[in-house]
Amino acid sequence: MDKKIFSALFFSIFAAVTGIGIVVPLLPVYAHDLGASGLYIALIFGGFSISRTIFLPMFGRWSDKKGRKPFLTVGLFFYFIISLAFIFARDLNSLVILRIIQGAASAMIMPVAMAYVGDITPKGREGTTMGIFNMSIFLGLSIGPLLGGVISDLFSLQAAFAWMGALAFGAFCLSGVFLPPVHSERIVSAGFHAIPWKQLILDLSILRLFIFRMVYATCIGIIWGFLPVYGAVSFGLSSAAIGTLVMLGVAVNGVIHVPMGVVADHLDKRKLVIGGGVIAAAGISVMGWAQGFWGLFFASAVFGIGGGIAMPSLMALAVVSGNQNTAMGAVMAMITIAHSLGMLLGSLFAGVMMDLVGLQLAFPAGAVIMLAGVAGFIALTYGSEIDGFIKRGSA
């Protein structure tokens, strides 16, 4: 594996995600203070997911054809510009529009970076490599919310947006300077052979990853979009305390990501995904019955443990599928689409729950959704094996 490329991708994504993490726990409370209903808060988070979902197939396929670096650098530069625009946003409509634009830029960053890592991953080390790379995401999402809460408490929300912009610009510089020219990328030098989207969508081994990632992201959408509001309204938690809660689940996930990536290279990845999903369901369920900061603290930690067990194996399986189909960008785009759809559905679902029956019930309902996704993953795993057995028998 090319360590220079890996390091450039790692630190670029770490810087960009840290910037995003700074404002994630602050946006729902800021929108609520501006008079947003639960559904409007959902739109602020959902707008990001909608636009990212629309553009992901296009950018994922184009990166398979044109190379990874152009999309990554352009996307990071747009992150920088949008961060500056957030500083001057003073109404709910502006927040929604900026999140929609930010979602489109995101479609050029995360799936393309993951595809690039998949391109340079040695065979048999998919779990370890993706586990290490995903640390860039989880470290950024751990440090960002805590840093954002502190900056907001000490200075202002606009200062937090400025920090997000500075980190995005740093990531843009890192990727632009240290990633090699496009012509040297493996996907470009090997030539592009488009795999029909229908073939990828109907592949049960990919579909099961899509479903699991979507329901897991649905739970994240519920937590990120409405745990800050739940903590602030129900328990009077400060911005720093809310940032700590959002940080905790991500931090725990990240801490065990690397060792679980190593484990994934030696054990049955499917069983690790299933076990992690069950634990994550338990974590989000407990949030609905928490009695204060420490109850939410425990629940966030349990949810993080579940994700830390499941995600390295899930992403390792995605790398294997990407290599098998010679469509790493397209496969990673599908996985990221699943994440975007889940975030959208989670935020919309919790917003409706908040307005109709109360926010507290959204968290155990999320657990039911998570368990349904685990069941779907199990069914499609067995379906894939049965399909393979039938094909071998008829050969």
Q: What is the pLDDT of residue 77?
A: 92
Q: What is the pLDDT of residue 395?
A: 45
Q: What is the pLDDT of residue 369?
A: 94
Per-residue pLDDT band for 387 (boundaries 50, 70, 90) equals: low
Listed by start position, the domains of the chain span: 3-179+195-394
Q: What is the pLDDT of residue 186?
A: 65
Q: What is the pLDDT of the chain when averaged over all its residues?
A: 81
Runs of H (alpha helix) within the chain: 3-23, 27-33, 38-66, 69-87, 92-106, 110-120, 126-154, 157-178, 186-190, 197-201, 204-235, 239-255, 257-264, 269-287, 293-324, 328-356, 362-394
Instruction: Give the range among 31-35, 186-190, 269-273 with minimum mean pLDDT.
Output: 186-190
Q: What is the CATH number of domain 3-179+195-394?
A: 1.20.1250.20
The predicted-structure confidence for 281-294, as pLDDT tens digits, reads as follows 999 999 888 888 89
Q: Position of tokens 């393979």?
A: 388
Instruction: Give the closest residue to 108 by CA, choosing from 179, 58, 144, 65.
Output: 58
Flag whether pLDDT at 14 surpasses 70.
Answer: yes
Q: What is the pLDDT of residue 373?
A: 94
Q: What is the pLDDT of residue 59?
A: 82
Evaluate whether 346 touches 40 at the Cβ level (below 8 Å). no
For residue 40, give both structure tokens: 């409007």
What does the pLDDT average to over 171-194?
72
What does the pLDDT average to over 27-39?
76
d(CA 123, CA 146): 37
Residue 355, Ramachandran bin (φ over 0: left; ψ between -120 and 50: alpha; else beta): alpha
Q: What is the pLDDT of residue 193?
A: 61
Instruction: Give the closest residue to 143 by CA, choosing from 15, 50, 269, 261.
Output: 15
Instruction: Give the closest residue to 87 by CA, choosing from 175, 19, 173.
Output: 19
Q: What is the pLDDT of residue 394?
A: 46
Instruction: Give the range among 74-83, 103-112, 184-193, 231-240 with minimum mean pLDDT.
Output: 184-193
The predicted-structure confidence for 70-122, as pLDDT tens digits, reads as follows 888 999 999 899 888 888 877 888 888 888 888 888 888 887 888 888 888 88
What does the pLDDT average to over 297-319?
91
Give the C-alpha distances (Å, rounded to integers) separating 30 from 192, 225, 234, 341: 45, 12, 16, 24
Q: What is the pLDDT of residue 216?
A: 94
Q: What is the pLDDT of residue 328?
A: 76
Flag whether pLDDT at 385 surpasses 70.
Answer: no
Q: What is the pLDDT of residue 210?
A: 93
User: 156 vs 370, which has greater pLDDT?
Assistant: 370
Flag whether pLDDT at 272 surpasses 90.
Answer: yes
Q: What is the pLDDT of residue 389?
A: 46
d(CA 390, CA 377): 20
Max Cα distance, the chain (Å): 69
Q: What is the pLDDT of residue 283?
A: 93
Flag whether pLDDT at 136 surpasses 60.
Answer: yes
The predicted-structure confidence for 43-58, as pLDDT tens digits, reads as follows 777 777 788 888 887 8
Flag whether pLDDT at 188 surpasses 70.
Answer: no
Evaluate whether 164 touches 23 at the Cβ level (below 8 Å). yes
Coil, helix or strand for 25?
Answer: coil
d(CA 10, CA 133): 6
What is the dihedral angle through the alpha carbons of 327, 113, 223, 338, rounded to the nearest 10 degrees? -10
Q: What does 247-266 look like in DSSP terms, one character per residue?
A: HHHHHHHHHTHHHHHHHHTT
Instruction: Give the closest residue to 217 by CA, choosing from 30, 23, 28, 48.
Output: 48
Flag whether pLDDT at 190 surpasses 70.
Answer: no
Evaluate whether 332 touches 280 at the Cβ level (below 8 Å). no
Flag whether pLDDT at 129 surpasses 60.
Answer: yes
Q: What is the pLDDT of residue 274?
A: 94
d(CA 172, CA 74): 8
Per-residue pLDDT band for 226 (boundaries 50, 70, 90) equals: confident
What is the dihedral angle through the alpha carbons of 375, 378, 384, 385, rounded to the nearest 10 degrees? -150
User: 323 vs 54, which has greater pLDDT?
Assistant: 54
d(CA 77, CA 70): 11
Flag whether pLDDT at 392 surpasses 60.
Answer: no
Evaluate whether 163 touches 151 at the Cβ level (below 8 Å). yes
